[in-house]
Amino acid sequence: KQEVTQIPAALSVPEGENLVLNCSFTDSAIYNLQWFRQDPGKGLTSLLLIQSSQREQTSGRLNASLDKSSGRSTLYIAASQPGDSATYLCAVRPETSGSRLTFGEGTQLTVNP
Amino acid sequence: NAGVTQTPKFRVLKTGQSMTLLCAQDMNHEYMYWYRQDPGMGLRLIHYSVGEGTTAKGEVPDGYNVSRLKKQNFLLGLESAAPSQTSVYFCASLRDQSYNEQFFGPGTRLTVL
């Protein structure tokens, strides 16, 4: 059974700092990996999606990497801002699950002004 | 496009009451999903549908029923609510299996007393 773990569970940083969020998964047979952002009381917004054949994806100040063989992904946020404060969720789409996603528990990020 | 919408946004039930949560999408997506989100548990798949008239069980289906009579709507029913069903419920949709990105609704916060 695929399991997804995110470390740390919570992170507090000063504004302007570069930071890395980690995601690990137990079964490397994945179709893709997706990073989401969730604001308090809101739904999920997709940030980046990495196909299993890709190594990384970039969008603005965000960069996500994927090492499928070792079961790891990182989300790098450059020059963090208070508006980046949210919970970040990692989800994998296993090869054998059809379209279903398996989620990690998330990392709650606070960026202090 | 409104994307994925959920009705209601909040609801309080007493143990044993029934209710139906409605998810609607206007993107002509084939696949639809119901997740629940609980502290420390991440998002877990309840039921999903791969097309109009089809439904399938996810990871935590017990105590829930679903129907997909119209392509744009996916209903989640609780026949006899229990306190363990207190959670935030999210609906998501996907164009079809060849696509990657699931789009999420804003969520329904349900409390069962």
pLDDT in tens, chain B (113 residues): 779 999 999 999 999 999 999 999 999 999 999 999 998 778 999 999 999 999 999 999 999 999 999 999 999 999 999 999 999 999 999 987 776 788 999 999 999 99
In the predicted model, what is the mean pLDDT of chain A?
A: 94
Beta bridge partners of A29: none
Q: What's the CA dihedral at B8, B67, B59, B84 to 10 degrees?
A: 40
Residue A49: its chain B contacts at CB < 8 A? Answer: 100-101
Contact B90 A43 (CB under 8 A): yes
Residue A105: its chain B contacts at CB < 8 A? Answer: 40-42
Contact B44 A103 (CB under 8 A): yes
- Percent of chain A clearing pLDDT 90 (strictly above): 86
Q: What integer is the mean pLDDT of A31-51?
A: 92
Contact B42 A34 (CB under 8 A): no
| B10 vs B37: CA distance, rounded Å | 14
Contact A101 B42 (CB under 8 A): no
Sequence-distant (6+) residues with CB within 8 A of A10 are A107, A108, A109, A110
Residue B101 identity: E
- Distance from the Cα of B80 to chain A's closest Cα (Å) equals 26
| A93 vs A28: CA distance, rounded Å | 10
Which of B43, B102, B106 is opposite residue A42, by nearest beta carbon?
Answer: B106
Residue B44 identity: R
pLDDT at residue A98 above 90?
Answer: no
- Three-state secondary structure of chain A: CCCEEEECCEEEEECCCCEEEEEEECCCCEEEEEEEEECCCCCEEEEEEEECCCCEEEECCEEEEEECCCCEEEEEECCCCHHHCEEEEEEEEECCCCCCCEECCCEEEEEEC
Q: What is the pLDDT of residue A41?
A: 83
| B56 vs B69: CA distance, rounded Å | 14
Q: What is the pLDDT of residue B52?
A: 94
Q: What integer is the mean pLDDT of A98-110?
A: 91
- Percent of chain A clearing pLDDT 70 (strictly above): 100
Q: What is the pLDDT of residue B100?
A: 73
